[in-house]
């Protein structure tokens, strides 16, 4: 494997993604965790971009880093919560955790090392926005419509919940 620009970019992006994930677990303040999460989301978008799935990458940024993170920040900032989570204690627990992590690492390594994905040339990377659109509205129309109905139900449900709260607030 030779060192190419793509490889360097991949390592940079992957490093940020993993760092974001680790920080998400280790940081103690909730808002810091969300910011770490944003970095993970952004670098995952970078990985999509390296795989030349530009539409998916941009939508990842638009939906996850933009909208969902802000909703999460809203939720965190406007609700009461303990500022700092206490670190868990207990030697046995830590040891068994270490064992489990090591076992998982070995399993994943063995699983991935000999994995052989047959590569076949595709044209998926050309104009993939157009291709996604065509697939979505020809092959997958029914799932797409069902999804939209599901989202509509969620929207109506949210409105109903919010409405109820408001009326009770007015009465009291």
Partner 1 sequence: MIKDLLHSAPSLLNFGVYFGLAVLLLLAVLGFVTYGILSERKIMGFMQLRIGPNQIGGKWGLLQTVADVLKLLIKEDTIPKKADRPLYILAPVIAFAPAFMVLATLPFTDAFQFADIGVGLLYYVAISGISTIGIVTAGWASNNKYSLIGGMRAAAQMISYEIPLVMSLVGIVLLTGSLNLNDIVAAQEKVWFIFLQPIAFIVFMIASVAELNRIPFDLPEAESELVAGYHVEYSGFRWAFFMLSEYVYMFAMATLTTVLFLGGWNSIPFLDFIPGAIWFGLKFSAVFYILVWIRVTFPRIRADQLMEFGWKVLLPVALANIFLTAIIKEIVSLF
Site residues (vs partner 1, CB under 8 A): 5, 29, 31-32, 35, 38, 42, 54-55, 58-59, 61-62, 65-67, 69-70, 73-74, 77-78, 127-129
Give SS3 for 72. helix
Taking the C-alpha atoms of residue 83 and residue 73, their distance in angstroms, rounded to an integer, is: 14
Query: CB of 141: closest distance to partner 1 in angstroms?
Result: 17
Question: Which CB, 50 or 73, lies closer to partner 1?
Answer: 73
Place of tokens 């206490």: 86
Q: 29 or 139, CB closer to partner 1?
A: 29
Inter-residue contact 41 to 32 (CB < 8 Å): no
In terms of C-beta distances under 8 Å and separation of at least 24 residues, what long-range contacts does 74-79 make, across chains too? 76/30, 76/31, 76/34, 77/31
Q: 136: Cβ–Cβ under 8 A, 6 or more apart, which residues?
A: 144
- Residue 24 or 61 having the CB closest to partner 1: 61
Q: Give 10 or 128: the residue with its C-beta nearer to partner 1.
A: 128
Q: Least separation, in Å, of the C-beta of 157 and partner 1?
A: 17
Least separation in angstroms between residue 168's CB and partner 1 is 20
């Amino acid at each position: 494997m030779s060192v190419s620009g793509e490889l360097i970019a991949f390592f940079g992006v992957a490093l940020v993604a993993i760092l974001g994930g680790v920080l998400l677990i280790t940081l103690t303040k909730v808002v810091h965790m969300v910011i770490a999460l944003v970095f993970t989301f952004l670098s995952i978008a970078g990985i999509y971009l390296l795989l030349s799935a530009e539409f998916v990458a941009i939508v990842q940024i638009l939906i996850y880093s933009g909208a969902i993170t802000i909703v999460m920040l809203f939720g965190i900032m406007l609700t009461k919560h303990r500022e700092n989570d206490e670190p868990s204690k207990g030697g046995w627990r830590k040891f068994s955790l270490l064992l489990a992590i090591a076992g998982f690492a070995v399993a994943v390594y063995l699983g991935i090392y000999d994995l052989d994905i047959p590569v076949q040339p595709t044209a998926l990377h050309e104009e993939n926005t157009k291709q996604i659109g065509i697939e979505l509205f020809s092959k997958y129309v029914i799932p797409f419509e069902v999804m939209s109905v599901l989202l509509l139900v969620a929207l109506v449900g949210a409105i109903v919940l919010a409405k109820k709260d408001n009326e009770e607030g007015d009465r009291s």
